[in-house]
Structure 1
């Protein structure tokens, strides 16, 4: 089933929430309905109780029939501000044209976890949000039935109205909203959700709700926020992460016209302590310059002439990491992650063995909107407007750093100009909060592009030393990987780990994963498809090497390796081998894989597959390589299995195509290098992203399978990279084992 199909079948499911999970409020404005995940808060069901506040709501039906639906999760471009309200509107049975979407407040007691990450918006809210709409619809039906003195079974809905079946009488939702004050919310478990054949909104391709504002430049993003009397601030931090200020010419900065303040910030000790997940997460040492315009603040910053104190991380470098990895690989691994069978004996007895060393670099998120936050500290309370992916941890961080009670802090979620995991950290939020308190005025902190590039939470680099063994029939019988990664103290650095269940573990009888670690002073964190974006390159490329060593079709080699078991392992690490075989066969059939041997010289097809974030993806890439080493990606085919329902086909297609192009951009261009403890790249001139002239067509097919739908923001990215590098091997015979690609790797 292709991405443009109007409906993907899905059976209705009964809910598991109780009446105490529903909040209802009725006022002159109309009906307001909220839904609280069981266990997150104690809900009240008395519609006339003054303690029930509209801000605890998802749905408001106004007397004119217009419906406001609150989107609970932050939107950083992935489209959840549209997708989540679609689920509610579908079961409410309201015309999408009559829906107004607003961001919900940051209120974990009411809404549970509010975050954007891990492609979790769909799997977390598929059932929950449909229940919200179903309960609201049932209440409107009951209000109409009471008015008509009939049973609710005599009533049905059409978009925006309740119909009395025997007589054809009609009442609009708006006319029934106030009457819902006397309606007891039904137990959601008693409600039957719609069958897919009856969907009017789910499965319909819809533009993102904010598209009109985006294309017309209306204020929407974090950088657009304005407050009365607001000042602008820059915050300069040491090139070496965590280094403190030794001296700064504050008077020179203050002498710039428009500058209101310049001061040194010592930083919070926990922000740069060498503990798991700490480095760079909070208020780092630096110098703040505050002015009536951002440009004045920037000019003041340029005159600071800051000197920085010595710091141990200044001894670290990318070359040093690579040298240390080679040294560690030559010795005994520090830890064993998995050990199945007898790997050494199986390798010794193998008909063929393959050895290879793979490496990948640090990467920056490179959000198009640099990090920013607007904060207003007043009368002991803090209010912030932040394009954060993780608002509640940001509130807790500000509370801890400023010594405030969390309930005295309000976080407004605003649209983010890209996230990709970077905005899960809230360092920019705590900077704005601290500076606002210091100057006693609303402040917007805006990072420069150089700040953003050189003070990121980077995708970690990594090194893999692999050995594989094949028997006489070309079966993979042994595989060993010594993974050299990074640590903060004794713990693996954020997003730098690998699961013991990493494929192809459990599919190879003799398999060993070992791990060694290099101490790291560079902050790391999740980047789109964290971990998977690097590990897919390594393992899918090495499996391709093994397939060629076996003289096998690489795609069929993968299918043979997966075997005939439908599922391998147990939850939460269960692997749907049958689902992966399904997407491999689908991408084989939709691409010209069978005729790849007829391609012109210098062209090739490569395949990669990967499971991440609950999605199964297989991709074929077609490349051409010139004699000078230039790479042109001609097309990518994608087969995806994310369950039985695509909620918004436009959004789904955008996410898959964007993920593929993002992965290709990483492989073709991107790397962060460290010298003397500092990042060398500073802007798009030395950290280039894929240009539009390099973008290729991406054809997408979604398979219909009998599983609940899952997210799409990340799982299409990982297989794009090995599909590219394997295609380059097919075109040139040259194996790519380190990234990014350079022409020197591929020159004839």
Structure 2
């Protein structure tokens, strides 16, 4: 996150205002005093030229009373395009029906515009309150001058300033002309609303794009249309990192509708412009059809000998060797295991999986006059701009990037490979071109969630207390050159922190990590690391609780202990509030009637919790498993602590319910096999996604309001789902799940 939205107001102009040629009041954050509207102008296409609106600000109030709020973060389905403007609207005391939301293009005036790590809300929440409150204050001061009454006698509500004593009122539209002459008040003089007076925040507000989504309006990147546009497809080597030696280019160029076909040299970065063959035609259908006749001779490179079976065998071999990187070494875990009254050992593994967003990767680019204009469904527009500059040599100031709505992201669209592919093709042909990946491209050339192998040992004393923990984690890494030397760099989401629970809680704890070299692209997948680590650790904790003959809830509470606030260790350490976690854990147990129900064989409850992306989440799953092993998740109860305020109750519930279903789908079905350095699966026919019949019958969501800063919700509700369900399966059947996905484990019982 750029410092612009986080730094103290004394380090930059907090707010500025400007008068529009068409009339109106504009307010917004600026990076620093030197930034101005004249330096860069990026106009959202949904605001007419006649208004002469320049989005160098977040609030525009027109003389008509219409309020336009700029949403700077990418909308990927997490609801941020609705929720963040709600914060401004709450403080502004504007009628939500008077508000228009416009997606801002990439512009340094907005600060950081990436959407990932559930950071959009916590990094903008307080500043957006201040922005709305400052605008409200200026409107009140303007009304005070026009009505010739003290500002203290005025109140703002429903898009107007009211003088209760006289019954007079002025609409915001009527106040615009005067408001632009009012000096911007100092931040410390602006009073924020008391949360008890909120009218909008915490209510259910439908997504601002919902009408357009359900009626098929062109909102997404794949919908972009430009005059004279051509359509491209891009064939990369099936084996990761390979390059084209030759191809039947002449034959392809002679096919109907094909305008261009050429080899792109590309580079070696698995997150950048990889070598391939571009086909550009007068329609997507013509490009895809021609691609079926494309014949390429590939140099497949070193990845061609890699396979999942080979990785699995190598991981077992590495687990038996000493010398892994020690991430944490508290006490003497090996001696404590030797001295334990009871020990438990288990090996857990999980595969690579795809993001599988509904909208495949796509991007439209138009190279002209030495610059390029880009339309992209991206989570990280700044990274897209940067990679185009670094790869194609186009200066940053000559790149205009429009952020479209994304048909799902889940971390995939943080990596800008599809953006630079489109830009490279556009630069070569000089006309607007839309690159569209096929579903097979999307599945086989993803930035995958990394697989992994955990070899665990736990020790219990004679009272059933956890006294020792040893985890040897075998993970995946890429070979890179640093300072002239080959080194292994862990893949995104493939690392383990020494602070990961229960690392700071067990007196004797040894955490080791050994990298396994691969050429598979890896990227952040919803709740990176936590999405699999929670399953491993909280499943193994459940094993230990049952081995000790202890109630799984009581066992977990004992591990958490009474340490209160635990600081992080190391450079990346994140503090952990034990009391918050115990609160949600006890709350979810209460709401799920934990320990108060008697289940017949084949039915059971499982419990788990996890802290990730600043959210404290606990879940209880109730399942039924038939004798032949068919699973049905009957109910999932979720308790969340994400701070003092739920911004949009409708959106928040959507995120939790979506996390539960998304997590269940990954748990039950998703896996990718790797053979000869390539993905075996190709489409949803052999990569099944969760269907309605497999979704939980009920998802009960509970939000705990606490006196802590507001945090995000797109990711933290997903990690506890898998262990809660697997622990419930064990309670129902006695079958312990140690390999993902579930379809790899026989759940039948007799």
Instruction: Output the TM-score relative to the length of structure 2.
Output: 0.94
Q: Deviations over 1:185-228 (max 9, x none)?
A: 11122111111221111111101000000000011000000011
Q: Does 1:58 align with 2:67?
A: no
Q: Does 1:487 align with 2:477?
A: yes
Q: Deviations over 1:91-133 (max 9, x none)?
A: 111000100000112112x111101100111111110111111
**Worse-matched range after superposition: 341-350 or 648-657:** 341-350
- Matching residue of 1:88: 88
Distance in 2 of aligned mates of 1:418 and 1:41: 36
Q: Does 1:564 align with 2:556?
A: no
Q: Does 1:25 align with 2:18?
A: yes
- Matching residue of 1:126: 125
- Matching residue of 1:746: 747
**Worse-matched range after superposition: 504-513 or 489-498:** 489-498
Distance in 1 of aligned mates of 2:337 and 2:549: 18
Q: CA deviation at 1:28?
A: 4.4
Distance in 2 of aligned mates of 1:428 and 1:498: 29
Q: Does 1:536 align with 2:534?
A: yes
CA contact (8 A) 1:313 1:521 kept: yes
Q: Does 1:680 align with 2:674?
A: no
| 3-state SS of paired residue (2:315) | helix
CA contact (8 A) 1:21 1:43 kept: no
Q: CA deviation at 1:306?
A: 1.4
Structural mapping, 1:401-440, within 5 Å: 401-440=391-430
CA contact (8 A) 1:141 1:156 kept: yes
Distance in 2 of aligned mates of 1:528 and 1:310: 30
Distance in 2 of aligned mates of 1:673 and 1:718: 23
Distance in 2 of aligned mates of 1:32 and 1:721: 50
Distance in 2 of aligned mates of 1:668 and 1:347: 33
Q: Does 1:509 align with 2:489?
A: no
CA contact (8 A) 1:22 1:45 kept: no
| 3-state SS of paired residue (1:559) | helix
Distance in 1 of aligned mates of 2:661 and 2:433: 36
- Matching residue of 2:485: none
Q: Does 1:581 align with 2:582?
A: yes
- Matching residue of 1:9: none
- Matching residue of 1:189: 188
- Matching residue of 1:11: none
Distance in 1 of aligned mates of 2:549 and 2:280: 65
| 3-state SS of paired residue (2:73) | coil
CA contact (8 A) 1:333 1:482 kept: no
CA contact (8 A) 1:30 1:174 kept: no
**Worse-matched range after superposition: 94-103 or 175-184:** 175-184
Q: Does 1:599 align with 2:596?
A: no
- Matching residue of 2:112: 113
Q: Which has the higher contact order (CA 8 A, sep 6+)?
A: 1
- Matching residue of 1:309: 299
- Matching residue of 2:136: 137
- Matching residue of 1:8: none
- Matching residue of 2:316: 326
CA contact (8 A) 1:252 1:300 kept: no
Give the direction of change, closer, same or farther, for the CA distance of 1:318–1:44 in structure 2 (3 Å limit): closer
Q: CA deviation at 1:175?
A: 0.7
Give the direction of change, closer, same or farther, for the CA distance of 1:22–1:737 in structure 2 (3 Å limit): same
Q: CA deviation at 1:164?
A: 2.5
CA contact (8 A) 1:26 1:180 kept: no
CA contact (8 A) 1:63 1:175 kept: yes
Q: Deviations over 1:523-566 (max 9, x none)?
A: 00100000000100100000000100111110111111111222
Q: CA deviation at 1:152?
A: 2.0
CA contact (8 A) 2:240 2:300 kept: no
Distance in 2 of aligned mates of 1:615 and 1:744: 31
**Worse-matched range after superposition: 472-481 or 148-157:** 148-157
- Matching residue of 2:724: 723
Give the direction of change, closer, same or farther, for the CA distance of 1:743–1:317 in structure 2 (3 Å limit): closer
Distance in 2 of aligned mates of 1:743 and 1:454: 21
Distance in 1 of aligned mates of 2:506 and 2:595: 27
Distance in 1 of aligned mates of 2:7 and 2:437: 45
**Worse-matched range after superposition: 146-155 or 337-346:** 146-155
Distance in 2 of aligned mates of 1:123 and 1:85: 14
Q: CA deviation at 1:388?
A: 0.3
Q: Does 1:457 align with 2:447?
A: yes
Distance in 2 of aligned mates of 1:673 and 1:178: 64
Q: Does 1:705 align with 2:706?
A: yes
**What is the root-mean-square deviation of aligned Cα atoms in Å?**
1.7
Q: CA deviation at 1:167?
A: 2.1
Q: Aligned residues, how many?
A: 718
Distance in 2 of aligned mates of 1:425 and 1:34: 32
Q: CA deviation at 1:54?
A: 2.7
Q: CA deviation at 1:305?
A: 1.2
Give the direction of change, closer, same or farther, for the CA distance of 1:342–1:75 in structure 2 (3 Å limit): same
CA contact (8 A) 2:470 2:509 kept: yes
Q: CA deviation at 1:303?
A: 1.1
**Worse-matched range after superposition: 550-559 or 450-459:** 550-559
- Matching residue of 2:615: 615
Distance in 1 of aligned mates of 2:644 and 2:663: 26
Distance in 1 of aligned mates of 2:37 and 2:292: 58
| 3-state SS of paired residue (2:156) | strand
Distance in 2 of aligned mates of 1:568 and 1:295: 57
Q: CA deviation at 1:34?
A: 3.3
CA contact (8 A) 1:281 1:426 kept: yes
Q: Deviations over 1:611-634 (max 9, x none)?
A: 000001110111111222211111
- Matching residue of 1:221: 220
Q: CA deviation at 1:250?
A: 1.0
Q: CA deviation at 1:16?
A: 5.0
Q: Deviations over 1:667-716 (max 9, x none)?
A: 10001111000011111111111001111111011111110111100000
**Worse-matched range after superposition: 117-126 or 20-29:** 20-29
Distance in 2 of aligned mates of 1:27 and 1:464: 60
Distance in 2 of aligned mates of 1:586 and 1:181: 50
- Matching residue of 2:176: 177
CA contact (8 A) 2:28 2:59 kept: no
Distance in 1 of aligned mates of 2:650 and 2:71: 18
Q: CA deviation at 1:44?
A: 6.7
Distance in 2 of aligned mates of 1:304 and 1:44: 50
Of 351, 369, 385, the residue aligned with 1:361 is 351
- Matching residue of 1:5: none
